[in-house]
Every structure is written in C-alpha cells, then in structure tokens.
Amino acid sequence: MQLIVILLTTVSILTFLSGAITFFGSSKKDRVRSAWFFLAAIFATVWMASISLFLTADASWYDVISWHVNWTFVSAILIDVAFLGYAAWSEKYGRIATMIFLVFGVIVGCTILLNPGALYSEVILANTGNQVTMNIGPLYISYIAFFSTIVPAIVAMFLKQFSRSSSERKRGGDIVSMASFGISSLIILVFNLILPLFNNWSLIWLGPLALSITIIAVYYTILRYRMLNLSSIWLKIFSYIVIIASIAIVYMIIFSVIFAALFRGSTPSIEVIILNFIMILIFLLLMPAMNQLINFIQVLIMGRKSDKKKELGNGK
C-alpha cells in the first residue's frame, strides 16, 4: 500500500507542475483557458491526496476521515468542471455550458460537505481494506447524473474543436486530449464509481493515476502541438523542473520496488524515502555543474593532444 501512496504522491507532483507551467507560461490570450487547466491540475492533486489518505488511514483517523472522504467526492466534481472550462471556454456556448455545470457541481458538492450522510452512511477503517458504505439516494443519483452528462460534454467539445480546426497540428492535439480523457473516464467509471458499489475500494487509486496521465498527456499536446501559446522563458525554467522531478520520481519508484524485493515485501520507512528523494534531487541539481566540469576536462585533454600534434609537426 505504501508503494501505491508513493506512486500517487509522485504523479500528483507532476500533475501540479504541468498545470503550473501552463498557467504561468501562457500568453494573455490563453490565460483563461490555462487557468482552467491549472485548476484541473490542482483539484486532481487534492483528489489524489484524499484517496491516498483514505487508503492508508487506520482506526485513529475516525474523527477526521469523513473530511477526506468528502473532498474525494467534491474534488472529482471540480476536476471535470475545470476540464470542461479548458476544452470549451473559447466558444460562447462552451462558456455557458461551463457555468451551468459549475453551478450544478457546486450545488452537489456543497450538499455533500454539509450533509455527507445523504451520500454515505459510514466509513469502515479495517486492516482488510478501508470502505465507504454508499447510500443509493437522491444525492448519489445527482452525483452520477453530473458525471454522466459532463463527461460526454467534454469529449464532444474536444471533438468539436477537432472538426473545426484547420491546423493538422492542433487536430492531432485534440485527438490525443480526447482519447486520453475518454480512456481515463472509463477507468474512473469502473474503479471509482461501479466497483465501490460492490464494496471494492482497493483499486480506487487507479482512477487518479489514469487522470494524472491524462493531464500530463494534455500538457504534452500544449507543448507538442502548440494548443496554447506559452512563453519560451517559462518553458525552459519549468521544463527543467519537470525533468528533475520526473527523474526523481522514476528513481523513487525503482528504489521502492528493489527495496521490497530485497527485504521480502517490506517497504522503506518515510525517513529513508525522504533521504533518498533529497539525495537524488541534490545529484540532479549538481548535474549542470558536473557537465561543465566534464566539458572543461575534455577541453584540457583535447588541448594537450593538439599541442602534442603541433610539437610532432614542428619536430618533423
């Protein structure tokens, strides 16, 4: 379970950075759409954190676990509203649709926060796996109705942009965005909406993982297909940060897997994980200086070789 939490934590960092890069690096023309994308990344990060805390909570968390469970449901609503804003804000009817779903989502979300008992009856924290007993009532039906309508709307907006775009480059970006969002929505439907009805909550981490891949894929389309105009300075700064974070994340995942294999399924302590994460960050931050040192040494070596050739030539 700790490995799953590490995985969710690391991908949530990339998700947040993708949104931050897009927002702070976008031009004034695309600032509103990039803001919606940043909000989607923020709410996705909250969603991942809430699910991670729910999966690892024990009996001592009974007093506060309901708050995390509530935000698991509410943040999922806000993610799709923000995604719709990103996909549809360039059109007048898209802005209207976004505001309608925003009002709908706020009403459902506030009802969950103020009266969570209408959505679920209890939270079970057990060694065999944490669960939430859902109440199939008006609030749950409204919750499902929200996703049943907004997900097709988001896909339709990506499809609309694809059909209207005259640029082959941007059409490719629309295809990637639409496909990745559709696939992640199906995964979330199965593992975060359907299976929990049968008291299977052990795989709900697959939904946030799929969503983070979608957000990173959309960020890729923004860079690769120029879906938004981004400042080159911000791209250089933040892309370097993302590269460092990505390498550190891959290293931490590999380290955790090897640690579990060597020590018969046990997982490293938080202190060991933090120490390794800090060490890999220090190493990555020192890489530019190391490259400069290597280049300097190579120049010295090549200079000496050149001097020897000149001496040999003069000797002849």
pLDDT score at 41 = 94
Nearest partner of 72 among 55, 84, 87, judged by Cα: 55
User: Do 256 and 273 contact (CB within 8 A), yes or no?
Assistant: yes
Boundaries of every domain in the chain: 2-230, 232-316
CA distance 61 to 56: 10
User: Selecting from 3.40.50.300, 3.40.640.10, 1.20.1070.10, 3.30.930.10, what CATH number does the domain 2-230 have?
Assistant: 1.20.1070.10
For residue 302, pLDDT over 70 is answered with no
Residue 175 has pLDDT above 70, yes or no: yes
| pLDDT higher at 158 or 233 | 158
- pLDDT beyond 60 at 307: no
**Does residue 281 carry a pLDDT above 90?**
no
Which pTM value belongs to this model?
0.79
- What does the pLDDT read at residue 145? 95
C-alpha span between 74 and 105 (Å, rounded)? 8
Strand 131-134 versus strand 120-124 pairing type: antiparallel
Q: Given this model, what pLDDT does residue 235 score?
A: 66
Q: Is residue 33 pLDDT above 80, yes or no?
A: yes
Query: How far apart, in Å, are the Cα atoms of 28 and each of 111, 223, 230, 255?
Result: 36, 17, 10, 42
Q: Report the candidate in 55, 119, 148, 122 with the shortest Cα–Cα distance to residue 47.
A: 55
pLDDT (0 to 100) of residue 144: 94
Can you give the pLDDT at residue 232? 64
CA angle 39, 40, 41 (to 5 degrees): 90
Distance of CA 163 to the CA centre of its chain: 27
**Tally of CB atoms within 10 A around 110:** 11
